[in-house]
Amino acid sequence: MIEEILLRSIADAIKTLYQTDIDITSLSLQKTRKEFEGDFTFAVFPFLKISKKAPEQTANEIGQFVTESLDDVEGFNVIKGFLNIVIKKSYWLNFLNQNINNTTFGFNPHKNTSPVLVEYSSPNTNKPLHLGHIRNNLLGWSVAEILKANGENVVKVNLVNDRGIHICKSMLAWKLWGNMETPQSSGLKGDHLAGKYYVLFDKYYKKEVEELVAKGFDKEVAEKQAPLIIEAQNMLRKWEAKDTDVIKLWNLMNGWVYEGFDVTYKTMGIDFDKTYYESQTYLLGKSIVEKGFNDDKLIRKEDNSVWADLTTDGLDEKLLLRSDGTSVYMTQDLGTAHQRHEEYKASKMIYVVGNEQNYHFDVLKIVLKKLGYDWADSIYHLSYGMVELPEGKMKSREGTVVDADVLISEMIETARQTAFELGKIDDFESEEAKILYHTIALGALKYFILKVDPQKNMMFNPKESIDFNGHTGPFIQYTHARIKSLLNKADNVIANNIDLNINILDKEKNILQLLHEYPATIKQAAESLSPALIANYIYELAKEYNGFYQEIPVFKEENIELREFRLAISSFVANVIKSAMGLLGISVPEKM
């Protein structure tokens, strides 16, 4: 691409003019600000010690060298110490000709390298997926697709947290108060049914704690001595001892939950290459911990619990095995990480997990290193912010979460109402309209979440997300449909060889420049693991195209060469919108 050519030429200029070798990676270009003439801007200030000249003179000398060296450079101008480089229009037209039919434009060839594992979703089998899981799934899936587009060998993995005290709470509540209720008898999805009993456990557990406190117990003691929590802990011990009845109940309820999860995943368009289960990795984790103790790398306390002493690392002691021998989250994460490393020898293992787990992943890496596993450096925690609704924060055990299935259903209904009010579906048959509602709803949901930098907390407003004129998925979807309608009028006949001598307007050049940025945007999004860069890029492209479409005739242009050029630009924009939205998991309709 032209940016790399320019940077090499600038490096050559500095070497030739000032007898100094410059690493090209230390150089950077910016888009020239709209109020100045030019396409790319280079700031010379960091190199004045080398040139030993004033900023303007340095910029003029480098600009002259680059202009004389490169055929694609038309000229330059200097504003103080900023060198603004002008690219010939023939370059942009050549770029269009070369890529108009390139179905993989922006994507890098597949690299034959060690795989990158991306873990996302990681649900507990005691409750349905909720709004927080939606951000997790959408972020993880999109990051995986962006890495693929950048040429990486990606493996999408899920870790199901299917064992532990939280699972036993749902199981115990169903056993005590379920009356043999099933998804079939209740009409509830299996994951919703399990979640119902998780909430029920918390309700009765809190009541027991309150009763003990009323009898004079300290609250912290009451929370440990409440009969329900003791019974749940006993159930966990029985599970680890492979008690037949407990395992049977566990299999039954987990089966319900998996069926429910699969429905939600399918609705969201989420998939995995491999699914791990905590129940299958925690024993490996326990053996790793036992070995660490035997190798004098871990400590066992008087109550028989095993800990990692991380005080020399600036942290505290971390529990790895409870006194009764049962494992904790960290135990299974040690086992899962070890198993994945043995299976894939991955160059990187990316964990997409909320920022409330930052400490957990710091500890995971330190413990693995303490145990002698140098590959712990391959672990990367993609820490993302929490999602809230205007109503406030959600709490699973209190039943105040925003259920993913309910939210998606409500989004589809909102999409139906909005599309109907705006007259977007007048010529749609009923079944076709239902598909459109679903496409708009999922596009709105995914785009609204993914356009936010992963590290930031965000507030999700369902109504605001479905706006055909805002910074939203439906606006971009409508832009794509508008272009496809235009191309249909032209019978989709797109010229393959645009005349390089035609005169292009600023708005047309702006679009070509944005299209030109797509490969670099994918690369940057992959490096920063941020789908937000893709999302915001598409919005800028769609916005720029709409401005062009409003002001400049396309299909009605009488000059044949200009009409072919503008139809070619339109087709290219539609292709890039479809490609980029695809990296976010968003479908774009042919008509709206």
Distant-in-sequence, close-in-space partners of 385: CB < 8 Å, separation ≥ 6: 354, 355, 452, 454, 455, 456, 457, 458
CA distance 56 to 91: 27
Q: Do domains 2-87 and 120-388 have the same CATH topology?
A: no
Per-residue pLDDT, 400: 53
| CA atoms within 13 Å, Cβ hemisphere of 39 | 23
The low-confidence residues of the chain, meaning pLDDT below 70, are 391-401, 423-429
CA distance 494 to 503: 19
Length of the chain (residues): 592
Per-residue pLDDT, 399: 46
Per-residue pLDDT, 401: 67
Strands of the sheet containing 73-79, edge to edge, are 30-31, 40-43, 82-87, 73-79
Nearest to 29 by CA among 20, 38, 37, 21: 38
Strands of the sheet containing 154-160, edge to edge, are 274-277, 154-160, 116-119, 348-354, 379-384
Per-residue pLDDT, 392: 53
In angstroms, the first-to-last Cα distance of the chain is 35
Q: What CATH architecture applies to the domain 120-388?
A: 3-Layer(aba) Sandwich (3.40)
Per-residue pLDDT, 421: 76
Which conformational region is residue 345 in: left (phi greater than 0), alpha (psi within -120 to 50 degrees), or beta?
A: left
- Tell me if the domain spanning 405-583 has CATH number 1.10.1760.20: no
Nearest to 508 by CA among 101, 95, 106, 103: 95
Per-residue pLDDT, 341: 96
- Domain map (residue ranges) of the chain: 2-87, 120-388, 405-583
**Tens of pLDDT along 89-120?**
999 999 999 999 898 999 999 988 899 999 99
2-87, CATH topology level: Gyrase A; domain 2 (3.30.1360)
Per-residue pLDDT, 320: 96
Per-residue pLDDT, 426: 57
Rounded to 5°, angle at Cα 202 from 197 and 207: 125
